[in-house]
Amino acid sequence: MVTSKEHTDIYELKAFKEGISTLPPGKEFRTLLDFGPSRFKEKLPDLYRVKINYRGDPGDRPYSEEMDLDFGLYWNRRFITLRDIHDVYKQLEIIAKEIQRWRPGIGSGLLAVGPDDVRERHDQAEQELEEYRAEQTKRERDASHETPEENPLAIDCRRDAGVCALC
């Protein structure tokens, strides 16, 4: 059989030089014989007639079979990548690591909230706003009660006979 020159000559492989001394029933020997694009580039034939000699039961009897190896069957073939439970496990590990990084806050990942969470956040925001407004009002009152010595622009409540319209 002719193989492309870019890759190992299959006749140099031990399995083809010396044969396989033992191959139990149901077992397979698989190897890459050649590389399709290289075969195409070198215009090698697709069909080979091979002869296989082996011994087996009953009584270590010799067998000889001829068969066709047709590389043409593999041209333009599509394939499906089969996945198993190990692939699923790997993807679950990736997902779990990503979820562990999620934290509440801007730019930190996904934050799922329910109606109760929304109400609680709304109530908290309103309370913080009320506290801010109360603090602002207190500052404005404190600033309006400054004496003219402390702030020349301040209103002196004491000049109005103890009555202050702002207090």
**For 106-137, how does the pLDDT look when each residue is reduced to its tens digit (9 = 90+)?**
666 666 788 998 899 999 999 999 999 999 88
Highest mean pLDDT among 42-46, 47-51, 89-93, 113-117: 89-93
In the structure encoding, which two tokens stand for residue 146, read together? 């400054």
DSSP per-residue codes, 138-161: HHHHHHHT--TTT-TTS--GGGGT
Question: In the prediction, which pLDDT does 76 show?
Answer: 84
Distance CA(72)–CA(74), nearest Å, equals: 5
pLDDT score at 113: 80
Question: Can you tell me the distance from the alpha carbon of 126 to that of 117, in angstroms, rounded to the nearest whole number?
Answer: 14
Which comes out higher in pLDDT, residue 34 or 90? 90
Cα–Cα distance between 5 and 17 in angstroms, integer? 18
Q: Which phi and psi angles does 141 have, rounded to 5°?
A: -65, -45
Return the C-alpha torsion angle 145, 146, 152, 154, nearest 10. -20
Does the pLDDT of residue 88 top 90, yes or no?
A: yes
Indicate the average pLDDT of the chain.
Answer: 79
Which is more confident, 112 or 73? 73
The answer to whether 51 touches 64, Cβ cutoff 8 Å, is yes
Higher-pLDDT residue of 127 and 161 is 127
Q: Which secondary structure element, helix H or strand E, spans residue 128, and what is its range?
A: helix 115-144
Residue type, 105: G
Q: Which helix (H) or strand (E) holds 65?
A: strand 61-70
Domain positions in the chain: 1-95, 115-160
Structure-model confidence comparison of residues 38 and 119, the more confident one:
119
CA distance 131 to 16: 87
